[in-house]
Amino acid sequence: MTAPSIPTLELSTGYQIPQFGFGTYKIAPEDCVDAVRYALDLGIRHIDTAQMYHNEAEVGRAIEESGIPRQEIFLTSKLNNDKHLPRDARDSFRQSLEDLRTDYVDLFLIHWPLPTRYDGDFVQTWRTLLEFQYDEKARTVGVSNFQIHHLERLISETGVTPAVNQVEIHPQFANNEVRKFHREHGILTEAWSPLARGRVLGEEKVVAAAKRLGKTPAQVVLRWGIERGDVLFPKSVNPDRIKENLDIFDFQLDERSKVDLDSLDKGEDGRTGSHPDTMDIL
């Protein structure tokens, strides 16, 4: 497979982010090195991990062993839920850099707002992340799983708009109101669980579109996300699946497919993960 030309998008900080990456959620440490190495071998240059995933060390090892210059890879990690207090955030960020074998990350996110924890003060956590950006240890900082009212509070209380919000998005949960707010405020949308953990792949309209376009259901769904302008990072430890997921840059959806996939949105009933307003696991 010839490495595709993966488009990049511009962040509000001026940096470029590859629109397609490789996710490492729930990839066990013993599988992570090989999976990340294979993704990099295919030409993927955007790797997404998190303190919560417990595989930062393996991601760092894979990047180092790949021989690819660090500056050619866009690397993201996220703050763990039990590290929101400023001192804890600073200590854990230093540990992330050490585990990832790097002097900086390209993007660092608050993983969850946790409005029912820490007296609901995720604003102080955001101010701490801004320190990392000012120190150039994180080239860009942002958030993950933030609702519109969470974002509004960050902006109003600090005057600084997150460059990125990483949220659940797929055809069954299009999250359009959050995406609209992002567009209006210059926030880049990253879509986690872009395949709805496989749940969307059996949808009749997805299967029909795949047959019509000569692609797999997963490729059709991922292409839907790309054409909407979101950043995607599907994950897998299966080499064939990793290759399949990447093979989405040689076709476009026809109008019927776009309408059909848009029609699958179930609103909140389509959400597969926790709700940001109630998620409080440390």
Active site residues: 53
Helix axes 204-213, 217-227, angle to 10 degrees: 90
Strand segments, DSSP code E, in 149-205 are 164-168, 188-192
Please name which of 280, 212, 282, 281 lies closest in space to residue 252, comparing C-alpha atoms: 212
Residue type, 262: D
User: Strands 22-23, 46-48: parallel, antiparallel or unpaired by DSSP?
Assistant: parallel
φ, ψ at 190 (rounded to 5°):
-110, 135
Please name which of 85, 42, 110, 63 lies closest in space to residue 279, comparing C-alpha atoms: 110
Please state the length of the chain.
Answer: 282
User: What is residue 269's DSSP assignment?
Assistant: G
How far from 217 is each of 193, 200, 237, 276, CA to CA, in Å? 15, 9, 18, 29
Distance CA 175, CA 101 (A): 35
SS3 46: strand
Residues 6+ apart with CB under 8 A from 264: 171, 172, 200, 203, 205, 206, 270
SS3 160: coil
